[in-house]
Amino acid sequence: MPQTRQIGLSLGADICWPACFEEILTQLKLDIPVNGDRLRFETERVTIEPYNLQKPVKYDMVLDRISHWFPMTREWVKKIMVMDGVYVLNNPWTIQSAEKHTTYAAMMRLGFPVPETAILPAKEYKDEWDNLVTMRRYGKLFSLEKAGDSVGWPHFIKPYDGGAWRGVTRVKDPAALQAAYNDSGTQIMHLQKAVDPYDIFVRGLGIGPQVNIMKYNPTAPLHARYEVAFNFLDAEGWRTMTRYTRVINAFFCWDYNSCEALRQDGILHPIDFANACPDSQVTSLHFHFPWVVKSLLRWSLFCAAYKRKPNLNPNWAPYLAIADEDISFPEKLEKYDALARAHFDSDRFEEFSETHLKHLDEVAWEFFGTERCREIFREKVAALFPKHEIDEFTDHYFGLVQFWRKTEAERVGRAS
């Protein structure tokens, strides 16, 4: 008698990828042997309601997109990991504790070429707790210009825990820095040296051990920032960026995270890599969107099939031991990546995908050309765009995914 593995989707405003995930999973019609059992898979959207801490949950794994900002779900996710042993993408403790500042410090410790970075006390403090008396006693006057000099000009001032480009300002001189600092209010701010000039901006999106590298243009409109581009990195650059992304994710026990890097003089400098709820919508990723859906399916099915155990505590010691070795950074990165691949059980994952999910590419390719897919895209577009632009941008995004289907057909010799 087949057993059913339950995958929970913990969602906020997501529309398009969950609907595509559900449709393709249904069409896969999985009935596969794993460890002596025959397994089928179902998915359900997680609801928000009261729960008893002692009551077990029915899910074998949960794909979470909301707990980083929604406390009720975050505490439920913690409960099901601790009490029920449910595997969750992503680890809620490391998302809560490892803000941008921690990730910069950790990757600098491992030798990653992160730009020079400093941190500033907040410009203002609320009159609560012991904030004001603490600053009167221990706050030391400092020169903002010297702080800027310490990282170099131009640089970016940005919140130490920021996301979605919140509060990010490029400053080229002390006057601009003073103005941006005055506007920062009670936020603690980083100063980070600009990689200026740079010749390419890339984003690595990691889902489990899988990584997709995309060319990115931060100055473009939101719907055009992820470019449709090929061969923009050489083999070494591609390998390096893939390893950056996979190592960072494994280090912090993140299954689903993106890493930004800028290339200058042939060196890829990671500038932002604590993005554990990365862009996943067709309205931002378009051509790259099918990769996200397929990769989420592969990793979720693997984790559910083997009832992968949650990572409750990151294990940093092996990485730090490598960091202290007297070898080059590329040699260290290769060793870090071996740890990351072991963390994600990459060999078994690849064997599982090859054995049981060989038809996923074909099923997904067919689905992304259907009217049902177009309807899902239209629903997402309608949630973001004014009424008079819905048809135009539905055609735009669906058309880019059809271009993806064309390139896939050419790659594998399929008749499109």
Q: Any idea what the CATH number is for the domain that residue 187 is in?
A: 3.30.1490.20
CA torsion through residues 6, 371, 228, 27, sign: positive
- 175-206 confidence digits (pLDDT tens): 999 999 999 999 999 999 999 999 999 999 99
**Residue 261: inside a domain, yes or no?**
yes
How much is the pTM? 0.95
Supply the pLDDT for residue 164. 63
Cβ atoms of residues 292 and 19 within 8 Å: no
Residues 65 and 174 in one domain: no
Residues 182 and 219 in one domain: no
Supply the pLDDT for residue 166. 75
Supply the pLDDT for residue 291. 98
Low-confidence ranges of the chain (pLDDT < 50): none
**Residue 239: inside a domain, yes or no?**
yes
Supply the pLDDT for residue 165. 67
Residues 239 and 339 in one domain: yes
Give the span between the Cα atoms of 108 and 97, in whole angstroms: 18
Residues 206 and 340 in one domain: yes
9-41 residues labelled b (16+ CB within 10 A) or e (exposed): bbbeebbbbbbbbbbbbeebebebebeeeebeb
CA torsion through residues 126, 128, 129, 132, sign: positive
Give the span between the Cα atoms of 234 and 400, in whole angstroms: 25
Residues 168 and 256 in one domain: no
- Tokens 């060793």 correspond to 335
CB atoms within 10 A of CB 184: 18
**Residue 305: inside a domain, yes or no?**
no
Residues 245 and 109 in one domain: yes
**Residue 322: inside a domain, yes or no?**
yes
Residues 334 and 211 in one domain: yes
Supply the pLDDT for residue 163. 66
Domain that holds residue 131: 117-193
